Amino acid sequence: MKKLILLFLGVYAFFYLSQKDMIPSINEMKNYLNIEDSQLKGEQSTQSIPAPSKQQTENQAINNPQEPSSIPTTANPKYLPKKIQTYQVAVDNNKLVVTGKPTPYGQFNKAEGVILYIQEARANKKVTIKVPFTNGRVNYAYPLTYTVGDVIVNLDEYYNGVANDPNTVLGYAEYSLTDGDPYLLASWMVQSDNPTLVALANSITNGKPTDTEKSRAIFAWVAKNIAYNAPLVNDPNPPLYSALQTYQTRVVLCSGYADLSAALHRAIGIEAKVVYGENHAWNEIKLNGVWQIEDPTYGAGFINANTMRFVPSYHPAYFSKSDKNKEGEYPW
C-alpha cells in the first residue's frame, strides 16, 4: 500500500513540476533525445569515407532511375531530360545533347571522358562516340538523322587503356521522337527524299489532279516496271529491298515493291505504310482520309507453277486489295 501511495505522489509531483516549467516536458525530452541522436550520426558521418566503386555507382543508377531534376530552357518540352547519375541527356533542336561531370568513381579513377553508344531505329544506325572532358565536364550534341522514331543512348565513362563494354554502362536514356508524320517522312528503307525517286514520283503523277489518280498511277508504274525474283520465293531468309535498291535493280521480292511504292507516295505528300502478314509485304495508302490496301506485288504478275518463273501480268484489281491478312506494320 505504501508503494502505491509513493507512486501516486511521484506521478503527481512530476506533472505539477512540469506545469510550472521546473523540469522538461515529455515533448522536450523527446526533442532532446532526437537532437542527441542526430548529433551522434553527424559525428559518425565525419569519419573518412572510402572512394565509391563503379559497382556502387551502377547500383545507384539502377535504384535511382533516370528522373530529371529540372528542364533546361533549351530542351524540347515534349522530351523530358533524363539523368544518368551526374550526367543529363536531352533532345534539343533534333540533337541528342549530353552534359555533366564525372561521377565520384570517375573522378577518383581519373576518367578521361564519356563513351556513347547511340542507336537510331528508323535510320538503322548504331554509332559509338568517345567525348573527352573539357575543363572537367562534357557538353556534346549529336545530330539525329530523323525527327521521328526510337532513339537509345547508353552512357559510360572511359579510362586510358581500359576496354569498354557496351553492355556494362552507367545508364541509358530512351526517346520516341514524334516530331512529324512517320508515313510522310523518309527512312532507311523508304528513301522518299532521294532526288531520283522524287523526280520519278513527280514524273509518274504529272497531270493527275487527285490523290487517288496519283496513287493509281504509282501503283501501275511499280507493278509494270518491277519484276519478282522468283528463284528466291521459298528462301528461308529472304533479303529485304529498300526503295532505292528496288528502283536500281528492278528485280526484287515483295518488300521491294512495297518500299518503292511507299517512297513514291511519300515523295508527293501522300501518307503510305509498309505492312506485312503471312510472309508477304504490301501497302496501306491514305486516300480521302481512309487507309486503302494496295498490293503492287500481286498486281505485277504471278509465278508459273511449272517453270517457277515470274510472268509479268498487270492486275489492276490489287490497287485496292491483297490476298493476305495483315499481321503488323514495319516501323518505317
Beta strands in 229-268 (DSSP E): 251-252
Cβ atoms of 225 and 219 within 8 Å: the answer is: no
- How far is the C-alpha of 327 from the C-alpha of 284, rounded, in Å? 13
Mean pLDDT of the chain: 85
**Which residues of the chain are in CATH 2.60.40.10 domains?**
54-178
User: How high is the pLDDT of residue 77?
Assistant: 76
Backbone angles phi, psi at 246, to 5 degrees: -65, -45
- How far is the C-alpha of 115 from the C-alpha of 276, rounded, in Å? 37
Backbone angles phi, psi at 279, to 5 degrees: 60, 40
pTM of the predicted model as reported, rounded to 2 decimal places: 0.75
- How far is the C-alpha of 301 from the C-alpha of 233, rounded, in Å? 14
Q: Which residues lie below 8 Å from residue 280, measured CB to CB, with a gap of 6+?
A: 254, 297, 322, 324
pLDDT in tens, 283-311: 999 999 999 999 999 999 999 999 999 99
Q: How far is CA 287 from CA 123, 164, 209, 211, 276, in A?
A: 27, 50, 13, 7, 19
| Rounded average pLDDT over 26-54 | 41
The interaxial angle of helices 211-225 and 195-205, nearest 10 deg, is 110
Most confident of 57-71, 75-89, 230-244, 282-296: 282-296
Residue 279 or 44, more confident: 279
**Which residues of the chain are in CATH 3.10.620.30 domains?**
195-329
Ranges 63-67, 80-84, 275-279: which has the least confidence: 63-67
CB neighbours of residue 146 within 10 Å: 21
pLDDT in tens, 115-174: 999 999 999 999 999 999 999 999 999 999 999 999 999 999 999 999 999 889 999 999
**Best CA proximity match to 202, nearest among 217, 183, 181, 222:** 217
Which option is the CATH number for 54-178: 3.40.220.10, 2.60.40.10, 1.10.1270.20, 2.40.170.20?
Answer: 2.60.40.10
pLDDT in tens, 195-215: 999 999 999 999 999 999 999
Residue 8 or 290, more confident: 290
CATH code, residues 195-329: 3.10.620.30
- How far is the C-alpha of 145 from the C-alpha of 151, rounded, in Å? 10
Judge whether residue 7 has pLDDT over 80. Answer: no
With pLDDT > 90 as the criterion, what percentage of the chain qualifies?
74
